[in-house]
Amino acid sequence: MVITWPLLLFFSLALNCTHFASSQLVEEDRQKEYAARNYKWPPEIIPDTPGWSKLMMRRFRQMEFQDDSNDRYNGYMNVVSSAYVAPNFTENGWGLTRAPQELVDEFR
């Protein structure tokens, strides 16, 4: 039997596939890990203030009307990032404030 590159590639892919298939979590184990990490569904919007929650839910609803599935996916990823991953740091979202006059003068 002559070992050729296509045959070698086939066997290496076959071995890798069996490795990945056997290393999957069983559903019961996945649920235990989920609970151990204190995950919950649906996730809480950070921070859970009325204004921020309303804004994020509005953005989620806007994504439902995207015609292009790629744009819809990218939009959902951006909203998830804003709503669940990166908290806002002011009571009104990413609000603006005035810098101290001394600091402003120093940068001029």
The answer to whether 59 touches 93, Cβ cutoff 8 Å, is no
Please provide the DSSP assignment of 55-88 as one string: HHHHHHHHHHT-SSHHHHHHHHHHHHIIIIIS--
Please compute, for residue 45, the number of CA atoms within 13 A of its CA located in the half-sphere on the CB side.
19
User: Does residue 8 have a pLDDT over 70?
Assistant: no
Q: Give the pLDDT score at 65.
A: 94
- Least Cα distance to 45 among 53, 57, 55 occurs for 53
Q: In 3-state terms, what secondary structure has residue 90?
A: strand
**Mean pLDDT confidence for 76-96:** 76
Q: Which one is predicted more confidently, 97 or 82?
A: 82
Largest CA distance in the chain: 82
User: In the chain, what is the straight-line distance between the N-terminal and C-terminal CA atoms, in Å?
Assistant: 79
Residue 92 confidence (pLDDT): 57
Q: Which whole number is the average pLDDT over 32-42?
A: 86
Asked if 88 and 52 touch (Cβ cutoff 8 Å), the reply is yes
Tokens 């596939």 found at: 17
pLDDT tier for residue 62 given thresholds of 50, 70 and 90 = very high
Answer for the pair 25, 33: CB distance below 8 angstroms, yes or no: yes
Give percent above pLDDT 70 in the chain. 74
Question: Rounded mean pLDDT of the chain?
Answer: 80
Greater pLDDT, 95 or 43: 43
